[in-house]
Chains A and B, each alone.
Chain A
Amino acid sequence: MGMFETIKHLPYVLDDLTPVAEATMNHFKEQGFEVAGEKTLTNGWDLSLAKGKWFKAVFGLKSALKISIEPSGNVTIVKASVGLFGTQAIPTMIALFITWPVLLTQIWGMVKQSKLDDEAIDFIEASLQAHAKTQAGGKFCPSCGMVLPSTNTKFCAGCGTKLGG
């Protein structure tokens, strides 16, 4: 895990992450967050969440909690970090600003204190699990939710749970 990011590898794979991204955006919108999301070139999603004065403007650009949801082999990688609302990368001018390290530390500290990153990742995990079950037609581990390659699998490759067959 990086210093200013929370990363989780989740044992679920979806052909299309759009339902998960939309559910996550709706979840936070209902809580009064300003939300935005866009699909990435790698079939993932880049979400922006902002609320109140925590995510202050930096050089006039609104900061945000960035959530990236990216498929990677047989897992989905979810990453929470601080960035700018509606943009996937932080402009060089901001990253080079002398007080950016102070602001980044302060904003990330508030995110960690409120556990907003954990809430987002937990919600995405639950959503991924629910959609993976639907997509796999019931072929999933009842313990960890990992999608199983076939109904004849004896043990879950994700958590080792013995399966009923």
Chain B
Amino acid sequence: MNKPWFDPETGLLLLDEYVAEMPSFQKITADQLVTDEEFTEHAHRVVNLLKALEETFSPEQKSLATDALCELAVLYALARIRTMQK
């Protein structure tokens, strides 16, 4: 599976569309409730995926992926802080 991250025509990020198709997301939106078990299970899934990624990457790819993940997290934090400022 080689899904593009960005729409080639508009340049808009497409990740949200893939998220919407994820069984884990559909399950959450179906009942609007997140149990402790669901949360813990999903956190483990993320950790396992990150570990698998880390083993796959070359040093250069790992550096780039680390930057991308961290900068995305920084942007998210900035957005949350801006919301709280309002």
Contacts and interface: CB of A to CB of B under 8 A. Distances in A.
A99 B78 contact: no
Contacts of A3: 82
A75 B86 CA distance: 23
B76 interface: yes
Interface string B1-35: 00000010111110111011000000001000000
Given A99-B15, A102-B75, A60 B10 contact: no
A53 B13 contact: no
A13 B71 CA distance: 46
Contact of B29 (A56, A93, A99): A93
A85 B79 CA distance: 22
Interface string A93-110: 101011111110011001
B73 to A, nearest CB: 8
A153 B79 CA distance: 48
Interface residues of B, number: 20
Contacts of B50: none
Interface in A119-154: none
Interface string A5-42: 00000000000000000000000000000000000000
A54 B10 contact: yes
A106 B13 contact: yes
Contacts of A58: 16
A100 B12 CA distance: 11
A99 B14 CA distance: 9
B50 to A, nearest CB: 14
B72 interface: yes
B11 A97 contact: no
A64 to B, nearest CB: 14
A101 B73 CA distance: 11
B13 A102 contact: yes
A103 B17 contact: no
B10 A110 contact: yes
Contacts of B15: 99
Nearest to A63: B12
Interface string A50-85: 000110111110000000000000000000000000
B46 to A, nearest CB: 12
Interface of B: 7, 9-13, 15-17, 19-20, 29, 72-73, 75-76, 78-79, 82-83
